[in-house]
Amino acid sequence: MLTELEQALPDHWRGVFHAACAPIAWLIPFQQTLLNWAWTSDIAGLTPLKWFFLILPTVCVLIGLWCSMLAIYTLPFRSGRIRFVTALFVLWWDAARASWLFWAGMARLLFLIFGAFWGLIRLIAAVVQEVVLSVFDIPGKLGGKIASNFLQGGIPWIAVVLTMLWATLEGLIFSYILSPTISEILSNLTGSESHRYLTAFLFAMLVPMILGSFACMHVLVDAVKSRSFTQIVQMLFVEVLVMGFEVLFFYRELVDSLTPWISQQTGMQMGLLTVLGISVCGWIGVRGMTWFLFARYGTPTLLAFIARQRLAEEVIGPTASLPVESRWEKALQKLKEEHLWFQERAQGLLEAAILPAFQVFAAAINFCVLLFLSKPLFNLPFKNLGEVGETKALLHQIDVLWRPA
């Protein structure tokens, strides 16, 4: 462009124009060469690195060169030329320092990114570890808690379960034994030979009756413990009736089913009294074994559950084992503790990413401001983002610089 202007001038003005443009004539080809060097590379993998590390310092150097060369034209008209030239040299020192700080800041940014990424990986690994351990630890804790509850005492759930199982077993046996007799009676009454749901109906009736037999024994035992003669007599009468009912309808049928085998083995013909006697002994033996083994502990619990009453044996108090902190809570607590670390790390990453570039931008702007106002705008280097200044403060500072001394 300068060559075209020079050719358009008369011959006797070309020498003057050439001398006047000498300070900036060399900048245009040098600028193109420097930008090509910073923007392109013969090695493909090196090009992004040159963009990342060299573009901003190169632009700063070019702005400084243009402002320095243009300042030559203003020197004859400036007051305080020595101070202006000195400030220009100081700005070149600031530009060199800002470039070095930019490169060091970019390296620090990469290091901080690696550190933050490594810390995030460690945090995720710790959380995953706590979650996996908690999943595998649930069966052990559950089994330990169940065993601890059983060993510490309280509600006799084992006795309750055994009582219910025994009542269910007796109900199945007696419903099977009574089904032919009751079916025959119903057939005579209704004239129908098929009774599909008879066994299930008998089972549903017999289980509560067997549990009621245990309840009567429990009330009789309580009456004996309290030495209430009237209640003892009443419950003995009730228990005899219960025994007679179960012997006649349940245990007699069981003994009758065994009578042919007994007669075959012993050759003894069993009459009514013999069958009833064996049935009574069987009832007493079965009730005694089940009562002293588990029914005396399970029956009070069932009665209290039905009546919605608190058991006398149930004691509410602190357990022997200390509460164990959940691993889920530990994982959440670790996340809460790392929250402040994430905030500090984010602030550090922000400063590390922005501050080095701001150093170079400020050095380039100082050249421009010095050219027009004879004083730089920024004090370099910046130590934190707070020293960059807001727009209002910068405009006020420019206004102060514009005022004559």
How confident is the model over 332-363, as pLDDT tens digits? 666 666 666 666 666 677 777 788 888 888 88
**Residue 156: its pLDDT value, please?**
78
Residue 326's pLDDT band (cuts 50, 70, 90): low
pLDDT value for 151:
55
pLDDT in tens, 360-374: 888 899 888 888 888
Mean pLDDT across the chain, nearest whole number?
77
For the residues 253-258, what does the mean pLDDT come to?
74
Q: Name which residue leads in pLDDT, 225 or 134.
A: 225
Averaged pLDDT, 238-257: 78
Which position has the token pair 């150093």?
359
Structure tokens at 27: 């900048």
- Does residue 261 form part of some domain? yes
Instruction: List the Cα angle 383/384/387 in 5-degree steps.
Output: 90
| Alpha carbons 113 and 348: distance in angstroms, whole number | 10
Residue 112 included in any domain: no
In-domain check, residue 15? no
CB 180 within 8 A of CB 322: no
Please say if the pLDDT value at position 321 is more than 60: no
Cβ distance 377 to 400 under 8 Å? no
Q: Is the pLDDT of residue 290 over 80?
A: yes
The answer to whether position 350 is within a domain reads no
Flag whether pLDDT at 141 surpasses 70.
no
**pLDDT on residue 317:** 45
Least confident of 81-95, 134-148, 163-177: 134-148
In a domain, 185, yes or no: yes
State the pLDDT at residue 318.
43
- The end-to-end CA distance of the chain, in Å, is 40
Separation CA 201–CA 198 (nearest Å):
5
Of residues 19 and 51, more confidence is placed in 51
Q: Which residue from 140, 121, 141, 117 is spatially nearest to 129, judged by alpha carbons?
A: 121
Torsion, CA 80, CA 82, CA 87, CA 90, rounded to 10: -170
Q: Is the pLDDT of residue 71 over 50?
A: yes
In a domain, 201, yes or no: yes
**CA distance readout (Å), 390 to 163, 380, 386, 387, 397:** 83, 16, 9, 9, 11
More confident residue, 87 or 136: 87
Q: Is the pLDDT of residue 126 over 70?
A: yes
Q: Any idea which of 1-5, 180-184, 266-270, 290-294 has the lowest mean pLDDT?
A: 1-5
Could you list the residue range(s) of the whole structural domain that residue 282 is in?
Answer: 155-307
Structural domain total, the chain: 1
Question: Is residue 173 a part of any domain in this protein?
Answer: yes
Asked if residue 232 is part of any domain, the answer here is yes
Which of 26-30, 35-39, 66-70 is the most confident on average? 66-70
Q: What is the mean pLDDT of residues 144-154?
A: 60
| Type of residue at 242 | V
- The proportion of the chain whose per-residue pLDDT surpasses 90, expressed as a percent, equals 3
Judge whether residue 391 has pLDDT over 70.
Answer: no
What confidence category does residue 316 fall into, taking pLDDT thresholds of 50, 70 and 90? very low
